[in-house]
Structure 1
Amino acid sequence: MRPASLGLNVWLTAVLLFLPAPIVIVVVSSFSRTGYLQFPPQALSLRWYAQFLTDETWLKALAVSFVVALVVAILTTVISFLAALATTRRRFAGRGAFEILLLSPLLFPHAAIGVALLSLLSAMGWIGRYPGILLAHVILCVPFAYRPIVNSMRKLDLALEEAAMSLGARPTYVFRTVTLPLLRPGLVTALLFSFIISFDEVTVTIFLIGPEVITLPTRIFAHIQESASPVVAAISSFLVLVTIVLVVLLQRFVGLELFVEAETRR
């Protein structure tokens, strides 16, 4: 092996080891017995996980995050599906601009989006209410849901639909029994990624929460400002585990290749 190649491999290995290092530190610190964050912990304990799972405040925030993420995932998948259906099955003026609009939340800092939504939702009276949080999360999740669905649609063989209709099947029946099953991987990918992104979102949500609606990530942020208790590390480790499990299931049963641009466009 050439010295240059060896050096490159060493650097790549160092980078790959460095990237998960903060997560490893947080997970290990969550097992500390002391009342403050310590790495490495002098003694191991599950007390902070027990506190998280028995504290009504944390469990309420967890429930709020779960419900919001579930509703957002469903709404975002439906909206992205309809948008992908329009851009792949219809030709209309401004189609390119429409797609850029759908993906535009990726182009702006979340803090700027949060300030803009704060002004908009204040005028609508939705600050600190579920409709405002749902609207903000849907806006943020649409780009991640639209991409796999539109790629799945571009890979769809339209001849299968035409064959079904040529045999006398009604369009609604073809859509339900042919199109939707073929698009299932893209829809499942959009659903799960929208759930993950909404469940973990904090930057924009921190601008919009109120006494009635406090999600788990924003509750963690507020707790860190008041205390350095390892319960935050325990909750963060729990969120990391949930995210990893969902991504592994997604890769195992659907695959992540739908985030790659389709090779053939229609």
Structure 2
Amino acid sequence: MRTSLPVRILAALVLVFLPAPLIIVIGASFSPGAVLSFPPPGFSLRWYGEVLGDHGWVMAFVASAGIAAGAAVVTTIAALGAALALEHASPRTRSIAETMILAPLLFPHAALGIAFLSWLVALHANGTMIGVFVSHVILCAPFAYRPIAVSLHQIDRSVAEAAEILGASPWRTITTVLIPMLRPGLAAALMFSFIISFDEVTVTMFLVGPEFSTLPVKIYGHLADSADPVVAAISTILIAMTGGMILLLDRVVGLGIFVDIEEDARGNA
């Protein structure tokens, strides 16, 4: 059946509209002027040099990358353990446990920020990198658990059962049989967790201290004081980094895992 002309026009407009903000940000990052503007009056790498030559921006990037990488690894390992533990649990137990894991999605991030701040103050860990790290692990848990649970649901369990029958220990079965089969879910969990942690600003604003700041929080503070294109340059770098991660994920495990996650979510709705 041929698609009508209005539908094709609407689809074309959507395809143009969706990447438009990214194109504007990328174009503005090459402006030689001191004010954020699009289209840029010329071409210059001035603001990229400003970012790379500023110790504050570099350290904020390193802090965000370090926290995000650590949170991604810890969250993925914890999500894998939770998925394996809940695989044979009763429906009621599994439902309660999954509700707790997915709880960070149910509350406004501002409320979570205040809750985490109160908790960290009680532990004398407010304003520290470890406090931000622990909070990000909790925030990333839903995004790591879902792809792993979907992958675990899709694999052929008879392979693991055959390994156990042949004498493999539970640990050996997990490390040599299950984990290789769960590679798509693990890769998606790592990427989701890294991006969510790296981009998190609302909760983190409540938790950073005078000794360090993450990149999103520093960007937010900079926008309150200045309208220069340095933020556009940083955003362009982050867009390129995210695009590279997506291409890497596509090359390693394929992007079909995201379709599977969406279908599983609809099936459980």
- Structure 2 match to 1:243: 242
Measured after TM superposition, the shift of residue 169 of structure 1 is 2.3
Instruction: Name the SS for the 2:44 alignment partner.
Output: coil
Determine the structure 1 residue equivalent to 2:88.
89
Q: Secondary structure at the match of 2:130?
A: helix
Partner deviation per Cα, 1:122-141 (whole Å, 9 max, x = no partner): 22222211222012211221
What is the CA deviation profile of residues 17-66 of structure 1, one whole-angstrom value per residue up to 9, with x for unaligned ones?
21221111111000000111111111100010011111111111111011
Which of 248, 260, 265 is matched with 2:262 structurally? 260
1:110-155 CA-to-partner distances (Å, cap 9, x unmatched) read: 2222122222222222221122201221122111110110011111
In the alignment, is the contact (CA less than 8 A) between 1:31 and 1:44 conserved in 2? yes
1:208 is aligned to 207
CA distance in 2, matches of 1:168, 1:101: 35
2:47 corresponding residue in structure 1: 48
Q: Which residue of 1 aligns with 2:61?
A: 62
Give the counterpart letter for 1:49 in structure 2: Y
TM-score (norm 1): 0.92
For residues 251 and 106 of structure 2, the distance between their equivalents in structure 1, rounded to whole angstroms, comes to 30
Structure 2 residue aligned with 1:131? 130
The residue identity in structure 2 corresponding to 1:50 is: G
Cα distance in structure 2, aligned partners of 1:177 and 1:252:
22
1:157-211 deviation line (CA, Å, top 9, x unaligned): 1211121222222222222211111112211211121111111111111111111
Aligned pairs (5 A) from 1:178-257: 178-257=177-256
Q: Structure 1 regions of 5+ residues with no counterpart?
A: none
1:84-111 per-residue CA deviation (whole Å, 9 max, x = no partner) reads 1122133374320211221122222222
Structure 2 match to 1:35: 34
Contact 1:154 1:262 in 2 (8 A): no
The worse-fitting range, judged by mean Cα deviation, of 115-124 and 77-86 is 115-124
CA distance in 2, matches of 1:42, 1:244: 27
The number of residue pairs the alignment matches comes to: 264
> In the alignment, residue 71 of structure 1 is paired with which amino acid?
G
CA distance in 2, matches of 1:112, 1:9: 43
Q: Which amino acid aligns with 1:206?
A: M
Counterparts of 2:186 and 2:39, CA distance in 1 = 42
Q: TM-score, normalised by structure 2?
A: 0.91
Q: Distance in 2 between matches of 1:167 and 1:86?
A: 22
Query: Identity of aligned pairs, percent?
Result: 49
Structure 1: distance between partners of 2:10 and 2:105? 29
Cα separation, 1, equivalents of 2:168 and 2:65: 40
Match of 2:142 in 1: 143
Corresponding residue of 1:167? 166
Partner of 2:219: helix, strand, or coil?
A: helix
Residue in structure 2 matched with residue 107 of structure 1 by the alignment: 106
Write the distance in 1 (CA, Å) between the matches of 2:237 and 2:222: 16
Offset, 1:262: 4.5
The answer on whether the counterparts of 1:155 and 1:262 sit within 8 Å (CA) in structure 2 is no
> 2: distance between equivalents of 1:261 and 1:139?
25
The 1:210–1:78 alpha-carbon spacing in structure 2 relative to 1, beyond 3 Å, is: same
Distance 2:253 2:88 in 1: 24
In 1, the alpha carbon distance for the partners of 2:50 and 2:189 equals: 33
Q: CA deviation at 1:212?
A: 1.7
Task: Tell me the amino acid that sits aligned with residue 131 of structure 1.
Answer: I
Q: Is the 8 A contact 1:110 1:204 kept in 2?
A: yes
